């Protein structure tokens, strides 16, 4: 601990010299205002007491004379480790949230429990800094409590009957947990645009994360036996974030900053431009052990199952020794799959396997020739390569044009998945 503080002190006072780009320090609301867009903050309270914000960008850069009252709402969901600001980093007109707002959509950004986004009070009873059990959750709880509460709030505020959903990376596991556990929510979603949706992880080639996933058992023992709910205390996440920000501001360390992004992003990107890198590497997420362990188990198994408590507790909780699989065939909202041709985390074989497992795939869209995991958020080319076709798809839907369902002959592995419930 002392050593860590020393390293932190050295890094921050002696090694890094330059001033931080002020945009790095803006929160979601400040960033939206700075870019000239309108922003509203709506507070959501879940059944299990968590309180968080939804950000709304009700219209584009230029307000139309007669803004229609019945605009379609789009909810953006980030992957784990992501923050709502990531949908804004490419700047006005180009970033996903702005691009959709400029084209007549009512944009909402999801900012679920534990994500750092100006939440004044995080739980009815628990204080996120003082009560470690605040952090006792995985994507399952986010999917089953936070997402439906948010969707209902949006429907309530907008008076719409259904929303569009854009989801990046492992945010897909949140959406799929909801739609398989509470299938009635399928009727509240017009289309899910799934960007690099990391749900099935059978053919991942991402050694950094695969190596970490091997420690899942150890981690869960710590969680179970020592009552620790976070991988590292909050102040350490904050220190790491602070160190990243300073490192990325210093030209001498810029290469290291980039390598940090590539390491967390699974792949070197040829499309992400240098001026976005410091904005992307600007913080370090809080890491609930239950969540990390849940992902790690699914990654190790190449599978999408509920949380594994160990055989005995599984028997009590689920009535089976192995945790059951999420019922992907219950998911019948129309889904459009966009995946990067060279993405080693959400790979083409895994995405296509998932397409065969859910019930209503309407689009298989390979983005390439070179397109990787974080390009969906941080590459300026994403605007034209990904957001533009998504907007077209959504506008067509509102005009009554929906692509035909794609029927994938289930491959052997998909059959295996379905047969082993
Ligand atoms: C809004 O209402 C107008 C007029 O009734 C209709 O033409 C349009 O399709 C509606 N838009 C959406 C997104 O429902
Ligand atoms: C929104 O929620 C409030 C309070 O729960 C309720 O009274 C109102 O009818 C709802 N409005 C819509 C449009 O669903
Ligand atoms: C999964 O969902 C499908 C479609 O709703 C349903 O027919 C099936 O019984 C479900 N399977 C399980 C194990 O719940
Ligand atoms: C990315 O965008 C730039 C600028 O518009 C363009 O020159 C380049 O060809 C694009 N790259 C790809 C792979 O589409």
pLDDT digits (tens, 9 = 90+) for 288-316: 999 999 999 998 988 899 999 999 999 99
What are the angstrom distances between the C-alpha of 316 and each of 101, 177, 420?
47, 21, 20
What is the atom index within ligand 1 of the atom nearest the CA of 398? Answer: 13
Please, which pLDDT band fits residue 421 given cuts at 50, 70 and 90? very low
Q: What's residue 419's pLDDT?
A: 56
Strand partners, 230: 288
The answer to whether residue 343 is catalytic is yes
Domain boundaries, the chain: 18-418
pLDDT in tens, 302-360: 889 999 999 999 999 999 999 999 999 999 999 999 999 999 999 998 998 899 889 99
Please confirm whether the linkage preceding 369 is cis (ω < 30° from 0): yes
Q: How far apart are the first and last CA of the chain?
A: 45
Residue 403 is given by DSSP the state: P
Residue whose CB lies within 8 A of the most ligand 1 atoms, among 70, 100, 155, 398, for a mutation test: 70
pLDDT tens digits, 193-203 = 999 987 888 78
Residue 286: CB partners within 8 Å, gap ≥ 6? 114, 116, 135, 230, 234, 237
In short, whether 156's Cβ falls inside 6 Å of ligand 2 is: yes
**Cα distance between residue 144 and residue 142, in whole Å:** 6
319, exposed or middle or buried, with CB in 10 Å at 0-12, 13-18, 19+? exposed
CATH topology of domain 18-418: Rossmann fold (3.40.50)
Q: Which residue has the higher pLDDT, 394 or 121?
A: 394
Residue 86 annotated to the active site: no
Rounded average pLDDT over 231-239: 88
CB 13 within 8 A of CB 29: no
The backbone region for 282, taken as left when phi is positive above 0, alpha when psi lies in -120 to 50, beta otherwise, is: alpha
- Ligand 2 centroid from CA 110, angstroms: 20
Query: pLDDT grade, residue 272 (50/70/90)?
Result: very high
Closest atom of ligand 1 to CA, residue 69: 1
Sheet holding 189-195, edge to edge: 40-45, 51-57, 106-110, 73-77, 163-168, 189-195, 335-340, 361-367
Nearest in space to 113 (alpha carbons), one of 139, 91, 85, 95: 139
State the distance from the centre of ligand 1 to the C-alpha of 165, rounded, in angstroms: 19
Q: Is 319 in the pocket of ligand 2 (CB under 6 A)?
A: no
Q: Residue 168 catalytic?
A: no
pLDDT in tens, 92-133: 999 999 999 999 999 999 999 988 887 766 788 998 888 889
- Angstrom CA distances, 339 to 200, 260, 264, stand at 13, 23, 18
Interval 366-385 mean pLDDT: 96
- Measured by CA distance, the residue closest to atom 10 of ligand 1 is 70
Q: How far is CA 26 from the centre of its chain?
A: 20
pLDDT band at 65 (very low <50, low <70, confident <90, very high): confident
| pTM score of the predicted model | 0.94
231 pLDDT exceeds 80?
A: yes
Contact 364, 407 (CB under 8 A): no
Q: How far apart are CA 184 and CA 345, in angstroms?
A: 30
Pocket test for ligand 2, best of 43, 73, 156 (most atoms within 8 A of CB): 156
* Annotated catalytic residue, options 138, 169, 266, 333: 169
Is 176 in contact with 331 (CB distance < 8 Å)? yes
């Amino acid at each position: 601990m002392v050593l860590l503080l020393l390293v932190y002190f050295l890094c921050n006072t002696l090694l890094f010299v330059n001033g931080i780009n002020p945009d790095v320090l803006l929160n979601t609301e400040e960033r939206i205002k700075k870019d000239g867009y309108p922003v509203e903050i709506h507070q959501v309270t879940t059944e299990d007491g968590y309180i968080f914000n939804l950000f709304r960008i009700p219209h584009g850069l230029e307000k139309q004379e007669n803004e229609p009252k019945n605009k379609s709402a789009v909810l953006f969901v980030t992957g784990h480790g992501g923050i709502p600001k990531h949908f804004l980093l490419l700047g006005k007109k180009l970033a996903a949230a702005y691009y959709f707002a400029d084209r007549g959509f009512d944009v909402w950004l999801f900012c679920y429990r534990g994500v750092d986004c100006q939440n004044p009070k995080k739980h009815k009873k628990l204080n996120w800094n003082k009560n470690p059990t605040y952090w006792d959750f995985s994507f399952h709880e986010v999917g089953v409590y936070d997402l439906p509460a948010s969707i209902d709030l949006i429907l309530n505020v907008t008076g719409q009957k259904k929303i569009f959903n854009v989801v990046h990376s492992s945010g897909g596991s949140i959406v799929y947990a909801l739609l398989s556990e509470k299938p009635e929510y399928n009727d509240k979603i017009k289309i899910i645009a799934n960007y690099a949706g990391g749900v099935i992880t059978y053919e991942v080639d991402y050694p950094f994360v695969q190596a970490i996933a091997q420690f899942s058992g150890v981690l869960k023992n710590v969680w179970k036996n020592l009552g620790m709910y976070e991988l590292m205390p909050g102040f350490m996440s904050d220190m790491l974030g602070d160190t990243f920000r300073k490192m990325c501001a210093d030209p001498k360390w810029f290469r290291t900053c980039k390598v940090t992004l590539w390491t967390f992003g699974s792949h070197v990107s040829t499309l992400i431009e240098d001026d976005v890198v410091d904005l992307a590497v600007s913080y370090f997420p809080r890491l609930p052990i239950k969540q990390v362990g849940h992902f790690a188990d699914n990654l190790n198994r190449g599978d999408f199952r509920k949380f594994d408590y160990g055989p005995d507790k599984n028997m009590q909780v689920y009535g089976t020794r192995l945790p059951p699989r999420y019922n992907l065939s219950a998911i019948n909202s129309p889904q459009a799959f966009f995946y990067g041709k060279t993405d080693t985390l959400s790979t083409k074989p895994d995405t296509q396997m998932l397409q065969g497992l859910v019930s209503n795939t309407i689009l298989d869209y390979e983005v390439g020739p070179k397109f990787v995991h974080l390009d969906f958020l941080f590459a300026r080319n994403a605007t034209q390569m990904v957001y533009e076709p998504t907007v077209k798809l959504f506008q067509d839907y509102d005009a009554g044009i929906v692509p035909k369902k794609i029927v994938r002959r289930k491959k052997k592995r998909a059959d295996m998945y379905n047969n082993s419930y």
